Amino acid sequence: MDVGILGGTGPAGKALAARLASIGMSVSIGSRSAERGEEIAAQLREKWGARVPDLHGASNEVACGADLVVVATPWDGAPQTVAGLAHRLDGKVVVSMANALFKVGDDIEAVVPARGSLCVAVQGAAPLALVSGAFHHLPARGLANLEQSLDADVLVCSDHAAATKATIELVDRIPGCRGIDAGTLSAAAAIEAFTAVLIGVNIRSRSHASIRLTGLRTEGL
């Protein structure tokens, strides 16, 4: 599987790109300009060398040609970006990882988008894509540090069984991560909003903690 990351030049996008490339996946870091995407890819290749053997830059449109596409653009531009590329995303699994957050004083607050969640807005922008939501609760700094092992559950929601399956399989390939079926896109609003709580905890504790679900029965499901 090869992965294209739309808006992959930001902290979350390039962190996920490096992590996926480090486990042998072919990853395209997309940007509005291919040159910017390649600039960030070159920085990551210089930093991590042979650990990211198949990481390169591309335009967002070219990144849409991947088997699976991740939307990592700033939250307020995600639906518009996807709408402009919708014709390239028909039938593809598209993973929305952005969180609608806003800093108010020293606090991080969740913003409720017009469609209720960014995942739902992304699905509306590309109605023929198979949209899922995932990776919301993985701190970018921890994800980006390939010297640091991960220990996290990743909640996955989608209205499409194929997208849920493909996204969980992608998550499960990342050492230390476990994909959890969190239901339909109706769960996305709560999943996205909880990120504000987690960021607040990490700020106060000076940590890069993620989440783990305990007592979960997965065998035979």
Is the pLDDT score of 220 beyond 70?
A: no
> Are the beta carbons of 89 and 184 closer than 8 angstroms?
no
Is the pLDDT score of 163 beyond 90?
A: yes
Is the pLDDT score of 102 beyond 70?
A: no
Is the pLDDT score of 221 beyond 80?
A: no
Domain boundaries, the chain: 2-205
Is the pLDDT score of 212 beyond 60?
A: yes
Is the pLDDT score of 219 beyond 70?
A: no
Strand order in the sheet with 26-31: 55-59, 26-31, 2-6, 68-71, 93-96, 130-133, 152-158, 177-181
Reported as a single tens digit per residue, the pLDDT across 24-39 is: 999 999 999 999 999 9
Mean pLDDT of 47-57: 96
- Grade residue 200 by pLDDT with cuts at 50, 70 and 90: confident
pLDDT (0 to 100) of residue 116:
79
Is the pLDDT score of 168 beyond 90?
A: yes
Mean pLDDT of 136-164: 95
Mean pLDDT of 165-169: 98
- Which CATH architecture describes the domain 2-205? 3-Layer(aba) Sandwich (3.40)
Q: Measured over all CA atoms, what is the biggest interatomic distance in the chain, rounded to whole angstroms?
A: 47
Is the pLDDT score of 74 beyond 80?
A: yes
For 22, how many CA atoms within 13 A lie in the half-sphere containing its CB? 20
Is the pLDDT score of 106 beyond 90?
A: no
pLDDT (0 to 100) of residue 217:
77
Mean pLDDT of 98-122: 78
Is the pLDDT score of 167 beyond 90?
A: yes
The span from the CA of 63 to the CA of 5, in Å, is 6
Is the pLDDT score of 148 beyond 80?
A: yes
pLDDT (0 to 100) of residue 207:
86
Strand 26-31 and strand 130-133: the pairing is unpaired
Distances (CA, A) of 162 to 63, 83, 189: 21, 21, 21
- Grade residue 129 by pLDDT with cuts at 50, 70 and 90: very high
Is the pLDDT score of 105 beyond 80?
A: no
> Are the beta carbons of 5 and 33 closer than 8 angstroms?
no
- Strand (E) or helix (H) holding 198: helix 188-205
Please give the angle made by the CA atoms of 203, 119 and 70, to the nearest 5 degrees. 80
- Grade residue 13 by pLDDT with cuts at 50, 70 and 90: very high
The span from the CA of 54 to the CA of 22, in Å, is 9
The mean of the pLDDT values for the chain is 92
**Cα R_g (the chain), whole angstroms:** 16
The span from the CA of 58 to the CA of 63, in Å, is 6
Residue 96, token pair as written in the block: 């929305």
